[in-house]
Chain A
């Protein structure tokens, strides 16, 4: 396929975007003739299981989400660099050693990716917070062994 038709194909993508938007907008528009509109104060409070909401939800969040997002960006960018590599790994009319060179280059690239993953792993960035089991100060007369027997 030549380049100009390739770019004009994105016009269809734009049509799909507009089509999807239109479906939701027209749906909402048609619905507005059918649905009631009687807001009141109680109805418009945030849902919090029937209690009056305390504070807002726009609060600082756990930094681990940020770390996860950062890791994702790193790996995703490297992943996207691998797609062109996959396309030219073999092609007709290349010199005989081409594929071998490409392969070695790809392996080095993926190797760096793996080193990054291992680093994040060893740093403990991939571990999510887990509740720790705290031993209770309560001592029962029934030996611990019997509990373990039933738990397993």
Chain B
């Protein structure tokens, strides 16, 4: 119950701060100033945006399929939100303690496509339709590399429970079989990407596929502003559009959280124990106590925020791909590479 309220608070907060940070960061990258006038340094810009969106008329086009059109934002947001049910955000703090967590995330994420298709089809608008078709083909294709990279992690850790995967990357639990020996120092040496160096190759695949899943640039073809107006969101206005936006930022947070949990040690401290200087133990707190909770929360969300910033940095650095480049990149590069990595990690698991 606590996790539910926590994520209900975190998601809008993430969008609220995320939009402001993204605008400021893009301004910095493009040598502009970004929002300035609302509040000091434009801090209140997104609050003002939300108040504006609340007051906007809810336009439903006559040509649209009313039910599908009205349903779509709720469906998209609901599905993204349901993914957060299994995320641990500190030791012993988690919504649903499923030991099928990764399976669950994959299956729920693929439902997101349906929400976008509803939005595009229900709008009965050509731009929205093109956007939705592109969104579906893209998300469906990039689901494969995403699934393959998750499979590599499952093979390496022999677990589908997110909480247990994080435990294996911390000093709390001895792995049943060891990756590299330096994992016993704790800190960042116990992270999956350093404990099993093969996952260092998997991590970029996961991030790229995650970017494509979240429809972020350079994979933002479904809402390519310069060619499709706003893709599947074209007909939406006011709060309904705000919920689609909220879902997009939620998806961004989801990818960053998942990457932090699976590859970067989750809520475990990044500082290693070196002899008597036990930095990891000092910065982990006690599990089950309030200190353990606060440290776990702090480390997990620091990693997540860094990954979100990386996603924004990528967005404002790389130009948008073409549709054929996008699918060629997925099917001819990421997928075969992912399959080979799955086989290699199985070999690693059995023989090392």
Residue B172 at the A interface, CB < 8 A?
no
A-B contact count (CB 8 A): 218
Best-surrounded residue of A30, A86, A92, A103 (most CB of chain B within 10 A): A86
Instruction: List, sorted by A's number, 24 A–B pairs whose CB atoms are closer than 8 Å.
Output: A10-B98, A21-B74, A30-B54, A45-B62, A45-B63, A46-B126, A47-B61, A47-B229, A47-B234, A53-B63, A68-B137, A68-B140, A79-B144, A79-B148, A82-B151, A82-B342, A83-B151, A90-B158, A90-B349, A103-B346, A110-B343, A113-B339, A126-B327, A128-B328
Residue A144 at the B interface, CB < 8 A?
no
A86 to B347, CA, bound (A): 11
Residue B306 at the A interface, CB < 8 A?
no
List of B residues within 8 angstroms of A36 by Cβ: 55, 57
Residue A119 at the B interface, CB < 8 A?
no
Closest Cβ neighbor of B60 among chain A residues: A44
4 tightest A-B CB contacts, nearest first:
A20-B81, A128-B324, A20-B78, A12-B96
B160 in contact with A68 (CB, 8 Å): no
A34 to B331, CA, bound (A): 48
Q: Which one of A16, A65, A110 contacts B133 once the chains associate, using CB atoms below 8 Å? A: A65
B243 in contact with A16 (CB, 8 Å): no
Interface on chain A toward B: helix, strand, loop, or mixed SS?
A: helix
Q: Which of A32-91 contact B (CB under 8 A)?
A: 32, 34-39, 41, 43-49, 53, 56-58, 61, 65, 68-69, 71-72, 75-76, 79-80, 82-83, 86-87, 89-91
A25 to B70, CA, bound (A): 11
Instruction: Give per-residue flags for B119-157: 1 if the beta carbon is below 8 A from chain A beta carbons, else 0.
Output: 001011111110001001100110110011001001100
Query: Which residues of A does B touch, CB under 8 Å?
Result: 1, 6, 9-13, 15-17, 19-21, 23-25, 27-28, 30-32, 34-39, 41, 43-49, 53, 56-58, 61, 65, 68-69, 71-72, 75-76, 79-80, 82-83, 86-87, 89-92, 99-100, 102-103, 106-107, 110, 113-114, 117, 120-121, 126-130
Number of B residues with CB within 8 Å of any CB on chain A: 85
B81 in contact with A57 (CB, 8 Å): no
Known: A27-B242, A76-B143. 13 other contacts (CB 8 A): A13-B96, A15-B1, A17-B81, A20-B81, A24-B243, A46-B235, A47-B127, A65-B136, A76-B110, A87-B160, A89-B346, A127-B324, A128-B327
Known: A13-B96, A89-B158. A37 touches B143 (CB 8 A): no
Q: How far is the CB of B349 from chain A (nearest CB, A)?
A: 6
A79 to B150, CA, bound (A): 10
B99 in contact with A6 (CB, 8 Å): yes
Closest Cβ neighbor of B138 among chain A residues: A68
A23 in contact with B8 (CB, 8 Å): yes
